[in-house]
Amino acid sequence: MKALFVNCTLKPSSETSHTGALMRRSVHILQEEGIEVETIRPIDYHISHSVNPDDKLSDDWSLLFPKIMESKILVMGSPIWLGERSSVASKFIERLYAHSAETNELDQYTYYNKVGGVVVTGNEDGAKEVSRSLLYALQHMGFVIPPQADAYWVGDAGPGPSYIEEGKENAFTASAIKTMSWNIIHMARLLLSNPIPAEGNIAYK
C-alpha cells in the first residue's frame, strides 16, 4: 500500500519546513506498518493555477497526478498564513478538483476508496481552519475522512517560535499525530478489503 504526503509549504526542499517535521512523525508510523510513503513539496515543481483537466499535460502536474492515483492515502500538510491554508495548498486542491469529472471503472468519482488526512503547523492560530478547508475539499471530491484526521501544532498568540523550536514536546500534538496516522492506516486497510459499493453513488454529470 502506498501513501503520498504533500507538504504545501512555501519553501523548496532546500529549506527546513516545520510542517514537514511534523509530517515526518506520521510518515514513520506508516512506514513501520509497511506502507510505502513518498513525500513531495509542490513548490519544487512547476504547477500552473488551473481547474482545467487538460492542463495536466502541460506542466509538472503530469508528474504528480500518477503519484496521487497510485496512493491509497493522501496526507496534505500546510503552514498557516493569516489564519488560512497556504496558496500552494489552494493551488494543489484546485488541480485535484480539475479531475472531478473523472470516474473509476464503477463510475464513482476517481478518488473513491482513498483516505485523506491533514497536518498543519504555524507559529500561532489557524490550524483548525486550515484542516476544515482541506478535509472538506477532500471528502467533497471522494476521499474518506477517518476520525480525528487532523493533527497540528500552533504556539500562543502572536509571532514566536515555530514547531521545530517549540512544538516537539507538546503532548497534545504528539497524541494527535499518532491518532491521525493510525486512523488513516485503519481506514485504508478497511477500504482495501471492502471498497465502497457502487450503489447510489455514481458520479453526477
Which cell numbers in the block locate residue 61? 502536474
Residue 60 binds to its own copies (criterion: CB under 8 A): no
For residue 94, give the nearest of 60, 134, 57 by alpha carbon. Answer: 134
Q: How many CB atoms lie within 10 A of CB 193?
A: 6
Number of residues forming the site for its own copies (CB under 8 A)? 79
- The amino acid present at 45, given as its one-letter code, is Y
Annotate each residue in 15-44 with x if it binds its own copies (CB under 8 A) or - if it does not, as one string.
--------------x-------------x-
Q: Which amino acid appears at position 106 of this protein?
A: L
Q: 105 Cβ partners below 8 Å, 6+ apart?
A: none
> In the structure grid, which three cell numbers stand for residue 108, read together?
464513482
Closest distance of CB 100 from its own copies, Å: 9
Beta bridge partners of 84: 81
Among 39, 103, 104, 179, binds its own copies (CB under 8 A): 179
Nearer to its own copies, 4 or 131 (CB): 131
Does residue 133 touch its own copies according to CB under 8 A? yes
Residues 83-122 contacting its own copies, CB under 8 A: 83-88, 90-91, 93-94, 97, 108-109, 111-112
Instruction: Restricting to residues 137-166, name those near its own copies by CB under 8 A.
Output: 137, 139-150, 152-159, 166
CB of 170 to its own copies, least distance (A): 6
Question: What's the min distance (Å) between Cβ of 107 and its own copies?
Answer: 12
In the complex, what is the shortest distance from the CB of residue 2 to its own copies, in angstroms, rounded to a whole number?
Answer: 19
Q: What is the residue whose three cell numbers read 475539499?
A: 137
CB of 48 to its own copies, least distance (A): 9
Handedness of CA 182, 70, 51, 27 (dihedral sign): positive
Cell numbers that stand for 117 in this block: 488526512
Q: Which of 38, 22, 141 is nearest to 92 (CA)?
A: 141
- C-alpha 14/C-alpha 66 separation (Å) is 24
Using the contact rule CB under 8 A, the part of the chain among 58-66, 69-77, 191-199 near its own copies is 191-199
- Nearest distance, CB of residue 158 and its own copies, angstroms: 2
Residue closer to its own copies, measured from CB, 4 or 89:
89
